[in-house]
Amino acid sequence: MKQTLRADLLRWFDRTKRDLPWRRTKDPYGIWVSEVMLQQTQVDRVVNYWQRFLARFPDVRSLASAEVKEVLGLWSGLGYYSRARNLHRAAQAIATTHAGELPDSVDALLELPGFGRYTAGAVASIAFGLEAPLVDGNVARVLSRLLEIEGAPGEREREKTLWAAATALVSGERPGDWNQSLMELGATVCTPQNPTCLLCPVRAECGAFIQGRVGELPPPKKAAKRKRLELHVAFARKGREVLLARREEKGLFGGLWELPSTEGALSSALGKK
């Protein structure tokens, strides 16, 4: 099954893949930046940001020597700013310890700030052609349907099974294209709602399709418990100027500017019992 599945999906990918600017480069740095930007962000939004970022910071060294506030400025509007800070930190680490070149091994990539298993797998496979697996939301959904992997998103056993499946499937020719083809299928055909199975290039190998279980897999994620947050905000003005403070780097809204605030009930914020 593995060989047929790989051949069918790669053939489909070659025929239908979207023409994206980072797919036209072989530069590991450009591929890395695209992978970081694409996390939690739609492809359409990333295109312009990636082009502007690469125009201003064309390589690791130019990014490493920039001021973090300029990096954050170019990231402005893309959200999840810790990604930009980690990108900057990782560029500095690469400039110092790897002579400005991204290392071509998963273990060395995992040592860098902001690199988790997904990013290391993406850079290793797409930029360096290594048989490194990756699992993101799209891949998890596709694999759970193809292989009828049970369990809700976030469950540990399911995650282990997904990574094991991704590891088994990535070995073979063109591992980077294989990983991209899984992500592409999840983004365009095997979507969370109403997947277009009749247009799917691997429906003959898909367990959920054959068993009529597409609507059941994956089951919905268990809702996270909401945490109530009380925040007290001070507003201080002098003429036309307003006092702003920068939040701690770590934690909620890390590093962002805001009106000075304090968390907790008003009595504890004022130091009363």
Instruction: Give the separation between CA 267 and CA 122, rounded to whole angstroms.
Output: 49
Interaction mask 164-203, ligand SF4, x per CB under 6 A: -------------------------xx----x-x--x-xx
Size of the site for ligand SF4 (CB under 6 A): 14
Q: How far is the CB of 36 from ligand SF4 (least distance, A)?
A: 27
Mention every residue, 6+ apart, whose C-beta is less than 8 A from residue 118: 39, 134, 135, 136
**Does the protein bind ligand SF4 through residue 63 (CB under 6 A)?**
no
Closest CA to 53 of 38, 122, 113: 38
Sign of the CA dihedral 144, 149, 150, 156? negative
258 a catalytic residue:
no
Q: Provide, rounded to whole angstroms, the least separation between the CB of residue 213 and ligand SF4.
A: 9
What minimum distance in Å lies between the beta carbon of 146 and ligand SF4? 5
> What span, in angstroms and rounded, lies between the C-alpha atoms of 228 and 254?
18
Q: Interface residues for ligand SF4 in 95-154 (CB under 6 A)? A: 142, 145-146
Catalytic one of 35, 131, 184, 205: 35
**Separation of CA 235 from chain center:** 36
Show contacts with ligand SF4 in window 208-227 (CB under 6 A). 208-209, 214
For residue 187, which of 228, 141, 244, 146 has the smallest C-alpha distance?
141
C-alpha distances (whole Å) from 164 to each of 158, 174, 216, 231 are 10, 19, 22, 43
State in angstroms the smallest separation of the CB of 242 from ligand SF4. 51
Residue whose CB is less far from ligand SF4, 95 or 206: 206
Nearer to ligand SF4, 103 or 186 (CB): 186
* Closer Cβ to ligand SF4, 11 or 26, answer by number: 11
Structure tokens at 180: 């991209």
Please tell me the distance from the alpha carbon of residue 72 to that of residue 63, in angstroms, as a whole number: 11
Catalytic machinery residues: 35
Question: Binding residues for ligand SF4, per CB under 6 A?
Answer: 142, 145-146, 189-190, 195, 197, 200, 202-203, 206, 208-209, 214
